[in-house]
Amino acid sequence: MALNLVRSAEELGLAHIFILAANEGNCTALPAAYAHVSCAWATRPGADGPGTNPVHVLWAKQWEASARIVRLGYNLLTLDADVMLHHDPYVFLKKGPLADFNLVMQHDGPDLPDFNGPNCGVVYWQNCHPSGPAAWAPTELADRTFRLCEAADEMQRFYPKWNSGFTWDQAVWHNMVALGADRDVQRPAKPRRGLGKKLPSSSNWRSSWAAGWWYRWCPARRACSCLAGSTATTRRRCCNSPTAIARGIRTASGRVGWVAKRDAGPHHCRCLLGA
């Protein structure tokens, strides 16, 4: 199917295409007629341990690669292998209202009773800031998937019914978009597999499951501890200080950001990574 997609794109005059395959054997098996097509695979260490779903891991690798490409400043169109192009997609993506969006996705539509959320079979990034929310979304998705699959036992300790199937990329995309928009428009009628639940706040889980797709738990306890022992009002002022938070982020994780929101707790702040 992937080669059919490549052929349909080439017939429309589209170039700069590469296939992300599951392994090296898939790439070496390409027919000679497609020897000009770039093919890549990823052997990410630790991504294939117990409790992982190989298909979900492959999809996460796709979004990890997408994140790297977008953060390098390129516009990127990702397509599932079962997509067939009959028209030049850029005619629609570069005109009208879509031209003003940094991230364009499909909607699965209200006709699906269990999942009224985004469909990630066709995703387009354009004119993205390398550290903005649109570029951070695939980074966060891959990070969630690898982090959870590599710690299946730990996840089941907190959520006994958890399994690696919960890292289906489309469901995670749904969770990020719905919570990132801070509204319930894209939520399904019933929570899907508990994806809206918040991960335990501990040193082992640096991401907040319910915080949204560009929010991360920053080392706020350290940043806000600059005023430890002071009043809650003073601590909140500390949490609202970009300098204090940036200092804490740089020290603990090597990333610099600024405060986006405060959590209910006086020592918990959230930071927005990037610019």
pLDDT in tens, 31-87: 998 888 899 998 876 666 566 677 888 888 899 999 999 999 999 999 998 888 999
DSSP letter, residue 31: -
- Asked if 148 and 155 count as a contact pair (C-beta separation under 8 A), the reply is yes
Say if strands 18-21 and 38-41 run parallel, antiparallel, or are unpaired. parallel
Residue 116 has pLDDT above 90, yes or no: no
**Predicted TM-score (pTM) of this structure:** 0.64
Residue 205's H or E segment, with its range, is none
Instruction: Dump the DSSP string for 160-201.
Output: TT--GGGG-HHHHHHHHHHHHTTSSTT--SS-STTTTSPPP-
Average pLDDT, the chain: 66
Return the half-sphere exposure (C-beta side, CA atoms, 13 A cut-off) of residue 89: 20
For 218-271, write each residue's pLDDT tens digit.
333 333 332 233 333 333 333 333 333 333 333 233 333 322 333 333 333 333
H or E element in which residue 22 lies: none
Domain boundaries, the chain: 1-41, 50-217, 218-273
